Amino acid sequence: MKAYVLNGIADIAYRDAKMPELDGNGIVGRNGQTSVPEDECVIVKVRAAGVCGSDIPRIYKTGAYHHPLIPGHEFSGEVISAGSGSLNNFIGKRVGIFPLIPCRKCSSCKKKLYEMCKNYNYLGSRCDGGFAEYVKVPATNLIELPENVSFEQAAMLEPISVSMHSVRQCGLSLEPDENERNVSIVISGIGTIGLFTLMLLKGMGYKNIFCIGNKEYQAEYAKSLGIFEDRFCNIKNDDPVTFINNVTDGEGADVYFECVGKNESVSLGLNVLGGGGKLQLVGNPASDMSFVKDEYWKILRNQLKVTGSWNSSFTGEADDDWKLVLKSLEEGKISPEKLISHRLGFEDLIKGFEIMRDKTEDYVKVMTLL
């Protein structure tokens, strides 16, 4: 099969690779031990794969946990074979794939908080992932796709579910009543996760959403999702504190999604939230994070609620993040394909890596169909 094989830092090649087989070895973790037995695995023919922002430093700066490795954790496909007869019902199914493989033994796993597993494996960073024609995955990590959900849409289930997880973490209702729809919400950082968060909130019916970014193309994508120009603040041109004070009539925001991962964005949230507001931390930290004394006082005196969010819930139950996102897709409440900025042939996907690495073009989601 063809695959993108990472041999070391900045050493990735599109080449022939051994096709994964149901050969008895199961899926092996970074410690060299089997993390999923063979009879619990299936082989998936990859049909679509998206490039995550985290793939770029993994490929070009930090490397993976071991090499060689096939990266890629945002993908969908079709099951072509199974490791045991009990899984034969999956063969031929169109599926999305949850990339985190929990140990199912630690304290978090026992509570079904698999996203916080202490000893997880991970497709595309700790074992081979989706930048390949075929991949071996645990059957428990599959989610079957409705007919009206495309492979492209399903390849974005993972990042959309990260956004869904943050929405639920901060306590926003997924089916808001008329009063709830009018709460003021600020999204700081209109990259991929910020835009997916915006898309979900609009699909849920929230009305007073304001976006803070630093690029004009971000404003254009926000507009395509229903944000009017006067609800987008480009911090290169305008002061975001003044902007939020103006649009909230000085009352401050009710909820602030921090999707940047920088001190100044967190500080902004503490400065624009009203009393009892919620600061939802989503962005991976770009550097050390800290509170100055005055900001800490604002958390105390304004009784702000600061909540972290990590990954997404995938329990197989009807109310996990992935099932909720899939339901939104099936009902047509969200259209993530609007955020695909680049569609590349599989053999040309390295161009997408380089665009994201060098920022030579504006991009949101780089996608390939196989």
Retrieve residue 277's tokens: 């507001």
Retrieve residue 154's tokens: 């399903």
DSSP category for residue 111: T
Distance CA(71)–CA(162), nearest Å, equals: 19
Distances (CA, A) of 207 to 94, 177, 190: 35, 11, 17
The percentage of residues in the chain with a pLDDT greater than 70, rounded to a whole number, is: 100
Confidence grade of residue 55 (pLDDT, cut at 50, 70, 90): very high
**Contacts with 166 (C-beta within 8 Å, 6 or more apart), sequence order:** 193, 197, 257, 280, 282, 309
Instruction: Average the pLDDT over 306-316 and give the result.
Output: 97
pLDDT in tens, 193-246: 999 999 999 999 999 999 999 999 999 999 999 998 889 999 999 999 999 999
pLDDT at 229: 83
- Residue with the larger pLDDT of the pair 133 and 287: 133
Residue 133 scores a pLDDT above 90: yes
Start-end of H helices in the chain: 55-57, 107-110, 151-154, 157-169, 178-181, 192-204, 216-224, 240-247, 263-272, 293-301, 321-330, 349-358
- For 259, the 3-state DSSP assignment is coil
pLDDT in tens, 232-257: 999 999 999 999 999 999 999 999 99
Domains parsed from the chain with CATH numbers: 2-155+335-369 (3.90.180.10), 163-308 (3.40.50.720)
Indicate the residue type of 58: R
Retrieve residue 314's tokens: 């995938």
**Contacts with 98 (C-beta within 8 Å, 6 or more apart), sequence order:** 141, 142, 143, 158, 312, 314, 322
Residue 33 scores a pLDDT above 80: no
pLDDT in tens, 317-365: 999 999 999 999 999 999 999 999 999 999 999 999 999 999 999 999 9
Indicate the residue type of 67: H
Q: Tokens 């849920």 identify what position? A: 204
pTM confidence score: 0.96
